[in-house]
Amino acid sequence: MTKKDIVRTIAEQIDLPQLRTKELVQRTFDALIEALVREKRIELRNFGVFQIKKREARMARNPRTGEKVPVLAKSVVTFKPGKEMEARVRELDRGESEPPPPPAGESTPPSAG
């Protein structure tokens, strides 16, 4: 999925022009980046946590030549998915043909078979 797909989906759902929706999506992304750079951590409930972590300098190996090469220290963005995202992704392991469980408090309708 691309940003264009996200814009199209949101525009259709909330009945806004795609140009206006694209601006809102881009401003959201820009705000997330700014907050991450400033705060070093963004926690979005039911989605996940973005965090900037420092990777230490180390020695690595060039796979082509086998030569040892130094890798400088650097900052990287990590992402840890939230519980809801983890649960939805785990549903993929159960197979596409199996329907997801009903939300808490609801019962499944009897099968017509």
Query: Could you state, in chain order, the average pLDDT of each consecutive group of 10 residues for the chain (113 residues)?
Result: 96 96 97 96 95 97 96 97 93 72 56 46
41-96: CATH topology is HU Protein; Chain A (4.10.520)
Q: What is the pLDDT of residue 94?
A: 85
**What pTM does this model have?**
0.68
Dump the DSSP string for 59-87: EEE-TTT--EEEE--EEEEEEEE-HHHHH
Q: What is the pLDDT of residue 65?
A: 95
